[in-house]
Chains A and B, each alone.
Chain A
Amino acid sequence: MEVMVYSENEKLFKELVTAAVQLNASKITSAVIGSKEDAEKAAKYTDKAFFVDSSQLGEYKPKEYAEALHSIVKASDPQVLLIGGTHKGNALAAILSVKLGEPSVTEVSELKVTEEGLIVLRSAFGGVAVAEVRVGRKLFTKVASPKIACVKPGFFTPAEESKNGEVEKINVDVKSSIEVLEVKKKEAGVGLEDADVVVVAGRGVRKKEDLSLIEELAKILGGVVGVTRPLSADLHWAPTWVGMSGIPIKPKLYVGIGVSGQIQHVAGIRNSKIIMVVNNDPKAPIFEHADYGVIGDLYQVVPKLIEMLKS
């Protein structure tokens, strides 16, 4: 069984390779839209790297990139195509799915291949639940008609270099009527997604100024501050929020301060290694999802916590 992997994100690409290995792929190929050097790099992780020279395509454009990817898929014979589940990847998966006439599934966290075909676990109901989904009826139908799965970042350990695969260039002839006027890179820095420690302020925090208390705690723990949806969407204390509808996070330590534990928030922090919370309401749903809980007034507990961590 051939598994092909594609992601524009290097770390996620390596995670997909691990996912492919775990599927017991007999052959792992990679699709690259980039330079020859990029393809050579990818070939260190896979048996073969196909690439379309991105200088022919320019910056990312969903339709054109999907056409390029389509040409690559046709050049090989994958039964499963794993795509990194980013905004870019999800869009490519959808367009490719239509072009190939094969199903696509997104938000995937686990996969396996059985005699019934490709079976995945994906988040459902906005991340509140997990669904087991069979992707397509049979796995082996016709040549170059892979089932497509978009895998969420962070669920597989990135693979190490282990191969020395060959590189093949695929020529495409893509015409485009679309112009990319600007690509504004976002500021680098430790975002919520990558932070090891995230301290989240919830509705229990009464005033915007009180966020400085949360920031102080985050600083001592070496982490960053996030907020829940109401603090961002309703009160505009921060541009984004932590949760399934905002930014899902999976830090080593999550600390929720005055967070009640609305279902979509819990869904967005579920993969945190350790969850610690402070809330004055022992019936707050967040306690059910916590490893460590402190029942108490955050305005007393947090300063005490800071004092104890300092010494």
Chain B
Amino acid sequence: MERILEYPKDPIITFSKEEELFRQMVREFCEKYIEPNWIEVDKAAEKDPMNMPLDLIKKMGQQGLFCIPCSEEYGGQGGTYTMATIATEEIAYSDPSVALAVYALLNNGWPFALELFGSEEVCQEILPEVARGNAFFGIASTEPQGGSDVAGIRTTATKKGDVYVFNGEKAYISGVGEVQKLPWGGGWFLIARTGGEGHQGLSAFAFLARKNGELKEGWNPTLYEDIGRHGLTTGGFIMNDFELEAKYLIGEENKGFYHVMEGFNLARIVVAAATIGAARWLLERAVEWFRSRKLFGRNISSFQGVSFKFAELYARWEAARYFVYRASRLADKIYMEKDPSLNPKDLNVPVALAKNYGPETCVDLAEEVMKWYGAYAFTKEAPIFRAWLGPFSYVIGAEGAQNIMKVIIARDLIGKEFIR
């Protein structure tokens, strides 16, 4: 596709030669395989969520678009977290429904979180399959009673000898279909209760519902019909005495809350990256439309009500982009360079800003673009609504609702005790 807006020239957030070349290569991949197909992918999976783009996932795996920050010994690309951010942004630009971008971001963020806290044996088993696009590895935290209240999780994992036995229900989980259909299978960074009440009784597991192509017993999935972002399944599952070997415990028992919070921080960066990618696509659709549309014999963007709104949204996009890359660079310093002056908690506010700002900007922009398009935008022929409904999932929830982001910002800045 012809690029209508030049990518900002930015002396503050800068990219290395390798990162520039990588962005260029991801673009080339997306132009070839994703741009021509994303609408068809969205339509096919809208009819039946099990129509997921398995071939594309395979291709993306071959191209090394998953497990970007993971070590090469685990089949990863040995890249930085910023490189995962770049890839996610570009994939979302080429598929603004963000289905493929979300597949990619989950399978970058959560494998990396697994590598941070998981055992070598488990990483060795799972990560190479995820990297190749043979397996899915996402996050399973939310339960039917709510998602934001992680400390209130009810699913239990009871240790019996060498295994943990799981009972409970997870809801609004991405990848329920993928785990069943991808050649190897996969699962989630799953949070369950191993101890007492509250967040100190939680543990994290590499919960494999299916591996080596074989489904495990005691796992009963269901799929939802989503309003957008088709091509990536969402569903839930009930665990009835589901058994998992003890080696799949991630990190320490009853420390799961802290591990998953770090994972959320990492995942939120790439979530925000997906929304700025989709937003860039929307900005270009707006400019394209302004240049071709007339109203009362005038270009519609000659009405300041339109052009000013556009300018405001563009400013928000640039700010969101800045938040995203600042958080991503900070993650590189903490997790890749292991800068001793930094601590994982230093990511809280920068990440919350990015996650709060990116999705909202994208969705607001989508709504405005649809208004500018007028009646045409209300037809399914105009693809704008697909870039509205997909990113909308991140305004509602997914990797933390918008209000939770505000809570994090307020809590860290004002102090925990002053916001109770």
Contacts and interface: CB of A to CB of B under 8 A. Distances in A.
Q: Do chains A and B touch in the complex (CB under 8 A)?
A: yes
A280 B36 contact: no
A133 interface: no
B2 A260 contact: yes
A234 B1 CA distance: 10
Contacts of A234: 31-32, 35-36
Nearest to A260: B2
Interface residues of A, number: 10
A283 B32 contact: no
Given A280-B292, A282-B292, A283-B291, A262 B2 contact: yes
Interface in B1-41: 1-2, 31-32, 35-36
A174 interface: no
Interface in A267-285: 280-283
B288 interface: yes
Interface string A223-265: 0000000000011000000000000000000000000101000
A62 to B, nearest CB: 33
Given A260-B2, A262-B2, A235 B36 contact: yes
A260 B292 CA distance: 12
A282 B291 contact: yes
A281 B288 contact: yes
A203 B292 CA distance: 16
B26 to A, nearest CB: 16
Contacts of A235: 36
Interface in B48-98: none
B41 to A, nearest CB: 15
Contacts of A283: 291-292
Do most interface residues of chain A lie in helix, strand or loop, or is the interface mixed?
A: loop
A203 B291 CA distance: 17
A281 B2 contact: no
Nearest to B36: A235
Contacts of B32: 234
Interface residues of B, number: 9
A32 B80 CA distance: 63
A10 B35 CA distance: 45
A205 to B, nearest CB: 13
A289 to B, nearest CB: 16
Contacts of B292: 280-283, 295
A295 B2 CA distance: 19
A281 B4 CA distance: 13
Nearest to A285: B2
A282 B36 CA distance: 24
Contacts of A281: 288, 291-292
Nearest to A206: B381
Contacts of B291: 281-283
A103 B31 CA distance: 41
Nearest to B381: A206
A157 to B, nearest CB: 38
A279 to B, nearest CB: 8
A260 B32 CA distance: 19
Contacts of A280: 292
A148 to B, nearest CB: 38
Nearest to B294: A282
B198 to A, nearest CB: 54
Contacts of B36: 234-235
Nearest to A236: B36
Contacts of A203: 1-2
A283 B291 CA distance: 6
B296 to A, nearest CB: 16
B384 to A, nearest CB: 15
A234 B31 CA distance: 8
Interface in B278-294: 288, 291-292
A220 B350 CA distance: 62
Contacts of B31: 234
Contacts of B35: 234
A281 B287 CA distance: 11
Contacts of B2: 203, 260, 262
Interface in B172-220: none
A280 B35 CA distance: 21
A262 B31 CA distance: 16
Contacts of A295: 292
A258 to B, nearest CB: 12
A154 B68 CA distance: 52
Contacts of B1: 203
A29 to B, nearest CB: 49
A222 B36 CA distance: 31
Interface in A93-120: none
Nearest to A233: B32
Nearest to A299: B381
A45 B1 CA distance: 50
Nearest to A231: B36
A283 to B, nearest CB: 4
Interface in B281-335: 288, 291-292
Nearest to A280: B292
Nearest to A281: B292
Contacts of A262: 2
Given A234-B31, A235-B36, A282-B292, 7 more contacts: A203-B2, A234-B36, A280-B292, A281-B291, A282-B291, A283-B291, A295-B292
Interface of B: 1-2, 31-32, 35-36, 288, 291-292
Interface of A: 203, 234-235, 260, 262, 280-283, 295
7 contacts: A203-B2, A234-B35, A260-B2, A281-B291, A282-B291, A282-B292, A295-B292
Q: Lowest 8 CB-CB distances: which A-B pairs, in order?
A: A283-B291, A281-B292, A235-B36, A280-B292, A282-B292, A234-B32, A281-B291, A234-B36
